[in-house]
Structure 1
Amino acid sequence: MTVLPLAAEGEAAGLAAFLQRLLKYDRAAAVRLQAAGHALAVFGRAPALDVVVVRVVELGESAELDVTVSAGELLERLEPAGAAVPDAVTGPAWAGMLPPRGGWRKQEGLPSSGQLGLAVQAAIGEFKGRVEELPEDKRTRAELDRIGAEIWGRTLGSTVLPLRAAHAAYVFGLLRPDASSELLAAGTWLRLRTPYGSVALRRAGGLPGLGVTPL
């Protein structure tokens, strides 16, 4: 059994919070683990937001690993000092099409982390307000999806990054007012990066009903 030692108890707590939030979106969620040296990247996907979320964890010892496992089982095996890696599972399609490792270029025009957080909170309030204004018989899934897609599809600053990317970073605890954030691009991918992890998504396409349930 492979055991990944964590650099500090805070790393375990941060990873646990990430996995718990991921499981709220999908109780059967899988995560792809990629360890290189003292860094462990944990990839998950939030279907409602159509993004790949990456939580970076510092390891206490150097390790090499690339495996897809159950998020729930990983959470169960997580302890303050480390995590026992569960058996591999047949990975979902997204796990085989991750963002590229290299070739990222910084993009200008992204608001600060504090401003991004405020934009997300304002959008959540707008969504709830618009839903409350609807008559009961008009609160259909199609109408909620339409409102959500309109709000979360708005771009941030002078960039092409949709608001749903910042929403995902906010929901997963990656977006904090006291930490920097930057926008990177590589091919068709966009990446919102913070010291706590990243949110990656493709420039075009996506699932219907994005961000319908603000958390």
Structure 2
Amino acid sequence: MTERGLWLGPDNRVAHRDDLATFVERALRLDDAAVIRLRARPNGMVVAWVATGFDVLACRVVAGRLAPADLSAGADALLPNLRAMAPDGHVDPGFAMDSGWRGVLPPDTGFVHLDDVPARAVLGLAQRGASLAKEHSGAHGPPASLLDQEVLDVASADDSVGIPMRCVLALTAMDFLPQAPSRDRFDPEGVSPDEVVRVRVTPTWLRVDARFGSVYRRRGDPAIVLR
């Protein structure tokens, strides 16, 4: 019987463990019942996915191997097991939670680069969005009209896309931008003026890449609701 689990590394396995643990910890901060989906890539990398609660997916890529090649785990079980990683890099993902993941994942390939956006501009939008969300939120959180508002238009010669506030808030909620620790999460001055986020698309998906992770949103309606 093939052993089930995640093996990080082999190079810099502690760094990969810490990267993944940080990702899982942030997912739990958004949802204490978060489910993490782990998926192996053929190049010796593993992608960790989570539904952020904004109808936006977030992911982080680490080096490692996975058995089976696609599994889901509870974030609350995965986090302590990451901290208890074995010397060979093995991590027990805990009980299988495959039934806890709904919806599809975006493809690994086929994304076309549209343009880069200054990270400071993204943080400025997040700052305004967080303020409006706090002002107008009800019992069920921020209104959909605020989250669906397209706050950035990004275009190339062949395509264009509007980036909704959902993606901006998901990116900052997962702390994917390299901000100074002394700064507020939404402070544009907390990130280098040279830092950018990269916008890529397929006909059906929008992808925004930042230094420490990526967020994905289904293009068009209806959105893919995962949990």
TM range (shorter): 0.7 to 0.9
Contact preservation (8 Å) 1:29, 1:70: yes
Alignment match, 1:58: 63
Name which of structure 1's ranges 156-165 and 167-176 shifts more when overlaid on structure 2: 156-165
Give 3-state SS (helix, strand or coil) of 2:15's partner: helix
Q: Superposed, which structure 2 residues align to 1:28-177 within 5 Å?
A: 28-36=33-41, 37-47=43-53, 49-59=54-64, 65-79=69-83, 82=89, 83-94=91-102, 96-108=103-115, 110-128=116-134, 130-131=135-136, 140-141=138-139, 145-146=142-143, 149-150=145-146, 153-158=149-154, 159-176=161-178, 177=191
Runs of 4+ in 1 over 6 A off after TM superposition: none
Cα separation, 2, equivalents of 1:41 and 1:3: 11
Cα separation, 2, equivalents of 1:38 and 1:180: 27
% identity of equivalent residues: 23
Q: Does 1:192 find its partner at 2:208?
A: yes
Gaps of 5+ in 2: 155-160, 179-190
Q: How many residues align?
A: 193
Paired AA for residue 70 in structure 1: G
Query: TM-score, normalising length from structure 1?
Result: 0.75
Gaps of 5+ in 1: 132-138, 209-215
Alignment match, 1:23: 28
Give 3-state SS (helix, strand or coil) of 1:97's partner: coil
Q: CA RMSD in A?
A: 2.8
Shift of 1:194: 2.3
